Amino acid sequence: MIRVGIGYDIHRLGAGSFCQIGGVAIPHERGLIGYSDGDPLLHAICDALLGAAGLGDMGRYFPEGDIKWKGVASLVLLTEVGKMLVRRQFHVVNIDAVVIAERPRIAPHVDAMKEGISRSLSIDPAGINIKATTNEKIGFIGREEGIAAQAVCIIEHDSIHH
């Protein structure tokens, strides 16, 4: 059984000296605000994977207000989502994601992002694609008030191989 999931996340920019995106701390004059580390790329990927498996969304497992998840690195959350998939006998076929931001530049950090994501999910980095685009200075993102991300994934149930 092959399943597809989609995820979306957005976080405001505020005080800080870096943006946590894809598990990588990218130097920037402002940071992302969130209950965990505010990483929109990893949150979008988590939601895509959970959705593909029919498991709802991040809020079900990592609710805002639960002190256990306050300030946690989103790579930890992604690892937990990966474990949920494994317990249900799913494996990740591929992930395709896009970060929408005017700044900072994402491209120089893509390889490091892919490496962290692949480690968290125990998958080959070749199955992960990350790209970036701007919002052409339009709206919330264009005014550099926040950063968003979208992700699509394909997962496969291990029974397909038996």
Q: What is the pLDDT of residue 161?
A: 57
Intra-chain end-to-end CA distance of the chain, in Å: 11
DSSP state of 35: S
Stated as kind and residue range, the H or E segment containing 34 is none
- In sequence order, what are the residues at sequence separation of 6 or more whose Cβ sits closer than 8 angstroms to the Cβ of residue 3? 52, 53, 54, 90, 154, 155, 156, 157
User: Of the candidates 61, 46, 75, which has an alpha carbon nearest to the alpha carbon of residue 153?
Assistant: 46
Q: What is the pLDDT of residue 159?
A: 82
DSSP state of 33: -
Whole-structure pTM value? 0.96
For the chain, list residues with pLDDT below 70: 160-162
Q: What is the pLDDT of residue 157?
A: 95
Q: What is the DSSP track for 49-115?
A: HHHHTT---HHHHS-TT-GGGTT--HHHHHHHHHHHHHHTTEEEEEEEEEEE-SSS--GGGHHHHHH
